[in-house]
Amino acid sequence: MNIYKKNYLILIILLTTSNTYSQYQVWMGTTCTPQNALYKNKTWKNTAKLVEGLNINKTPVKPLKGTPSEGEKSLSLQEFNSVITLFKKGSKNGFVEIARTFFENDAYPNRPDLITLLEKKFKRIDAGGYDVKGIMFFDNYIGSNAKSSKGVVYAWTEAEVQKMRDWLDENRPGTRLYWNARNNSITNRNWCENPLVDDIVMEAKPELWYKNAGSRQTLLKWLWTNPTTVNKRIILQTPVNTMTAPYGNPNGLQQFREFVRWLGVDLMDFEFMRSKRLIIMPVTYNNAFTFYPETINNGKTYANTMTGIALSLIEQRKLFQGIDTKPTKEDAYNISRATSK
């Protein structure tokens, strides 16, 4: 066979075996990760290899009695760092959160200034052995509770964000800034369009999306087509523990999969689902949703867990992107492990 025919055949093989579409990414939140995640790592080994990014947050686990997480204990800092490094891809692509109340403000004037906070935070990151590629910043109440702070919102100023950007450019070049947009307010739209913001996090449980609470549907469609934001990624941070009866029927895994199906079939379209701009990220807060195992029935069924959700969305991307067929609600509720990356 001459060299030209050989190269032609190689090209044909590459074209027929490669994906002709881009893919949403699947990230995970690390809040409420239990101690046993480190010592039972084989129960979520596939997820550890495949998850593409992390919201790195060492919130202690507080399980609810009567759930599969009952009795779980929290990770020490050393154990937490070890768990993060088990995520082969995710540990190289993490982000951390900075609420406005994390540094000096009227309520806590003795807290460190912004630069000192950044220096301390990245010192801990370096000691932990993982990489942070983004910072999510957001306005908040003290404790994220309007009543506890008498309705006072502590808000970032553009000057503060510019100060953070300048420090990152000098000390951590390439680190991206994410704005957490929780509704369709003018403030959120302005931050989403701001050139200091690289990507947008939208945080809500599926029920709020279905009800269009805070006009989230409107905001998402605007972000998707607005000329100022069309190059920014959209990270859907979706808490599992706040879903309706996550251990019921349908369970949390099925409810999450139905939400992802709804995004492509009902709210947006499959162009959206096939875009690298889309990042889907299951998280849990307390009372914590169960972390592992990722599969049951000798690996034949996805488990109703954090890692089960993430793994199913990765292994069945083609299903939710409508590559072979338009996914139905029955497809979303079917938790058999028939992979279709």
DSSP string, 8-58: HHHHHHHHHHS-SS---EEEEE-TT-BTHHHHTGGGGHHHHHH--EEE---
Q: Summarize the confidence of residues 302-327 as an average pLDDT.
A: 97
Dump pLDDT digits (tens) for 113-132: 999 999 999 999 999 999 99
Q: Which pLDDT score is estimated for 150?
A: 56
**What is the predicted pLDDT for the residue at 17?**
38
Tens of pLDDT, residue by residue over 197-206, are 999 999 999 9
For 7-16, 48-57, 298-307, which range has the lowest pLDDT when averaged over its residues? 7-16
Q: Give the per-residue pLDDT at 9.
A: 47
> Is 148's pLDDT higher than 60?
no
How does DSSP classify residue 160? H
Pairing of strands 94-99, 301-302: unpaired
Calculate the alpha carbon distances from 154 to 146, 157, 337 in Å: 11, 10, 45
Say how many residues make up the chain.
341
pLDDT at 76 over 50: yes
pTM of the model: 0.91
- Residue among 257, 263, 264 at smallest CA distance from 303: 257
Would you give the distance in Å from CA 234 to the centre of its chain? 10
pLDDT band at 143 (very low <50, low <70, confident <90, very high): low
Mean pLDDT for the chain overall: 92
Q: Is the pLDDT reported for residue 53 higher than 80?
A: yes
Confidence category of residue 4, pLDDT binned at 50, 70, 90 = low
Distance CA 217, CA 209 (A): 7
Beta strands in the chain (DSSP E): 25-29, 53-55, 94-99, 132-138, 176-180, 199-203, 234-239, 278-283, 295-296, 301-302
Q: What is the pLDDT at residue 107? A: 82
Asked whether the predicted pLDDT for residue 105 surpasses 60, the reply is: yes
